[in-house]
Amino acid sequence: MGQHWVFSALALAGGACLAAYAFYVWRHRRASAGASLAVVLAAAGWWGLAYAIELAATELPTKLLWGDAKWLGVALLPPAWFAFVMQYTGRDRWVNRPAMVALAVPPAAVIVLLANPATHDLVRYYPPSAAAHPEDAIAQVGPLFWPFLVYADLVIWGCTALFVWTLLHRSRLYWRQSLLLIVTLLLPILANILHNLNVGPFGRVELTPFLLVLTGAVLVWGVFRFRLLDLAPIARSQIFRLMQDAVVVLDPYGRVVDANLAAERLIDQPIGQVVGQPLAQLVPAWATAISGGHGASTSSDTSGDEAIIAGRMYELTVSALPDRQGQPSGTLLIARDVSERRQAERDLRDSLAREQAATERLSAALQREQAAAEQLSSALEREQTATQHLRELDQMKDAFLQAVSHDLRTPLTSVLGIAATLDRGHQLLSAGEVRDLLGRLVGNARKLGRLLTNLLDLERLTKGTLDPDRQHVDLGALVSRIVKDTGPDLLGERPVSLETAPVLIAVDAPKVERIVENLLANAARHTPAGTPLWVRVQAAAGGALMVVEDAGPGVPAEVRQAIFQPFRQGPTITAYAPGSGIGLALVAHFAGMHGGRAWVQERPGGGASFRVFLPDAHDSVAATAPERPVGRAGSTGR
């Protein structure tokens, strides 16, 4: 009785293990064969669990009940094993409804016979003597058991043979794994045959459920360690056998382990004869590629070597095959026929060379056309530039003539009017009125003189015939005198704030006088009466800085450069008295003649701030403006 409990406990543990295997496979299945394998393991697990209870039972009805219950697993095993093997070996078309219904008829008949008391003993029964010692009772088989046994053995043995054949025809690199799977499959089948034939101790205890635990463990290990189901080994074997490229598997000594049909045709010998022979003797042209492949790492391929075999060009790829420890255990050599591709590449290169020659000729012609078009475009641009320049000159001429005629006509008209008044009515005028008229006459005459002098100076500056006559003077005193002498005449009622410091510098005093007069006249022309002005002279690095500021409308940034060019005018509030456009141009020219420069910027608080930097004589070449970067004369302006 103790032995029965031991076997019962072992059967119970085995059934639990098989149930766990079934649950694990079902959760991790990735192919249809995975579901079939889960059913196989579940049926074997139920067999083991029911058999454990049958062995442990001490009453005959209980033993009979669980003995019959285990047949649910026994009957389910043949069709489930059939479905698994067919799906695993790539014969899914055999797993269809008619085939499965036909395979289910014998198991269903056995279950029906066992469920009917009248026919129960035709399958299995306990002899009458078992009632005395039910714990030691051994079930006997009825006459209908043997047809079912033949059916089950035919299905299981046939499917197992197909499964073994599939494993043996896989790559020889996996022969150890295949052998282990084959042995674990055969053990429970042999144990079942020995038990059914009542051979020795196998007749008393059925070892099949126990051995199925080992078989299930190896199957699960093979499925999820080597991905037997997910990688579809039979499909890979078919691909390896039928692929167009010649593939040869070598051992570490360069001997052939396996090859496909394309390699067999290339070597011109059957695979069975070349296995075990050195490839260097079979195909000497591959010796260089083989030696190069053995030196490659296990994670990379050596590709690019080519060999000519039987008049065909083959591209050789050598890959190292690592074992589980990552060490090289063999070499995979792939020979791809690239004869047509190389010929196509040569034809393509020739065609590209012809196309390139034609393209170069066309490019040369296009370049000549482009050069001619560029020359024509340059000529048109020069013509347009000249036309635009002439148009601008014509516009400046019209503006200049209008401004000069106005500047000449206004004081000239005044001179003529005052002269006529003095000529006809001087006896009727008081002495004060005569002095006022004479003063106005002198002021207008000076305006005419300044305008004519500006025109003459501009002409001499343009021709380069005007040179500065430098003399050391006190620039502050010079500017103060000019503002006091000409201020009332030029500025009228505009208040002037004069702030000058003594600065001894070598300059051309008459030219400085002209600079100050033109800046004052420009301020008066572009500001309303009563607008305050500020005039400053201060020492600066390398020279002196003159500043004339006003509180007028200021100079827009976009015209600050143009107003220092001849005949260019900025915005003015005295549209009835346009300027000639040469005053600020003379300021820039006179400053540049001294080696300095003139510019305009915004005055803090609003208005314009005209500034002129004059370097001393010994600093005139390298002089720089103290408040703005040095530029050419007239780079900014009103």
More confident residue, 55 or 375: 375
Please list, in sequence order, all residues whose beta carbon lies within 8 angstroms of the beta carbon of residue 3, skipping any fewer than 6 positions away.
none
**Residue 46: per-residue pLDDT:** 83
Query: CB–CB of 213/18 below 8 Å?
Result: yes
What's the CA gap between 345 and 350, in Å, rounded?
Answer: 9
What's the CA gap between 279 and 199, in Å, rounded?
Answer: 51
CATH: 3.30.465.10, 3.20.20.80, 3.40.50.720, 1.10.287.130. Which one for 344-466?
Answer: 1.10.287.130
Does the pLDDT at position 620 exceed 70?
A: no
520: Cα separation from own chain's centroid: 64
More confident residue, 82 or 301: 82
**Residue 70: per-residue pLDDT:** 86
Domain residue extents for the chain: 2-235, 244-337, 344-466, 467-619
Question: Which amino acid does the sequence have at 186?
Answer: L
Strand partners, 471: 507
- How many CB atoms neighbour CB 637 within 10 A? 24
What's the CA gap between 70 and 75, in Å, rounded?
Answer: 9
Does the pLDDT at position 422 exceed 70?
A: yes
**Residue 621: per-residue pLDDT:** 43
More confident residue, 371 or 41: 371
Q: Provide the angle, in degrees to the nearest 10, between the axes of the packed helices 431-463 and 509-525.
A: 110
Under DSSP, the state recorded for 156 is: H
Q: Provide the angle, in degrees to the nearest 10, between the axes of the packed helices 97-115 and 71-88.
A: 170
Does the pLDDT at position 625 exceed 60?
A: no
**What are the CB-based long-range contacts (under 8 Å, 24+) for 97-101?**
none
Q: For 536-557, how does the pLDDT look when each residue is reduced to its tens digit (9 = 90+)?
A: 999 999 899 999 999 999 999 8
Please, what's the b/e burial string for 164-189 (b: 16 or more CB within 10 A of its CB; e: otherwise)?
A: bebbeebbebeeebbeebbebbebbb
Least confident of 27-31, 83-87, 534-538: 27-31
Domain 244-337 superfamily per CATH? PAS domain (3.30.450.20)
Under DSSP, the state recorded for 573 is: S
- Report the half-sphere exposure of 76 (CA within 13 A, side-chain side): 17
Q: Exposure of 222 by Cβ count < 10 A (0-12 exposed, 13-18 middle, 19+ buried)?
A: buried
Phi, psi at 314, each rounded to 5°: -120, 135
Mapped onto helix, strand or coil, the DSSP state of residue 540 is strand
Phi, psi at 515, each rounded to 5°: -60, -50
Average pLDDT of the chain is 77
What's the CA gap between 365 and 535, in Å, rounded?
Answer: 67
In 251-354, DSSP assigns E strands to 256-259, 301-309, 312-322, 328-337
Q: For 259-278, how does the pLDDT look when each residue is reduced to its tens digit (9 = 90+)?
A: 888 888 888 888 778 888 88
Place of tokens 């078009």: 373
Query: CB–CB of 551/532 below 8 Å?
Result: yes
Q: What is the largest CA-CA distance in the chain?
A: 180
**Residue 230: per-residue pLDDT:** 46
Domain 467-619 superfamily per CATH? Histidine kinase-like ATPase, C-terminal domain (3.30.565.10)
Q: Exposure of 271 by Cβ count < 10 A (0-12 exposed, 13-18 middle, 19+ buried)?
A: middle
Least confident of 412-421, 571-580, 623-632: 623-632
What's the mean pLDDT in 512-532?
Answer: 90
- Tokens at 336, concatenated: 């791809």
**Residue 10: per-residue pLDDT:** 67
**Residue 614: per-residue pLDDT:** 94
Stated as kind and residue range, the H or E segment containing 415 is: helix 339-425
Under DSSP, the state recorded for 295 is: T
Does the pLDDT at position 136 exceed 90?
A: no
**Residue 438: per-residue pLDDT:** 75
Does the pLDDT at position 626 exceed 50?
A: no
Q: For 159-188, how does the pLDDT look when each residue is reduced to its tens digit (9 = 90+)?
A: 888 877 776 665 444 555 566 667 767 777
Query: CB–CB of 563/638 below 8 Å?
Result: yes
**Residue 87: per-residue pLDDT:** 82
- pTM comes to 0.41
3-state helix, strand and coil shares in percent for the chain, rounded to the nearest 5: 60, 15, 25
**Residue 351: per-residue pLDDT:** 92
Most confident of 3-7, 443-447, 511-515: 511-515
Q: Is 2-235 in CATH node 1.25.40?
A: no
Closest CA to 482 of 513, 443, 505: 513
What's the mean pLDDT in 195-214?
Answer: 66
Does the pLDDT at position 627 exceed 70?
A: no
Phi, psi at 539, each rounded to 5°: -75, 145
Least confident of 76-90, 184-198, 529-543, 597-611: 184-198
226: Cα separation from own chain's centroid: 37
DSSP symbols for 184-214: HHHHHHHHHHHHHTT-GGGGTS--HHHHHHH
Query: CB–CB of 170/153 below 8 Å?
Result: no
**Parallel, antiparallel, or unpaired for β 312-322 and 328-337?**
antiparallel
Q: Exposure of 375 by Cβ count < 10 A (0-12 exposed, 13-18 middle, 19+ buried)?
A: exposed
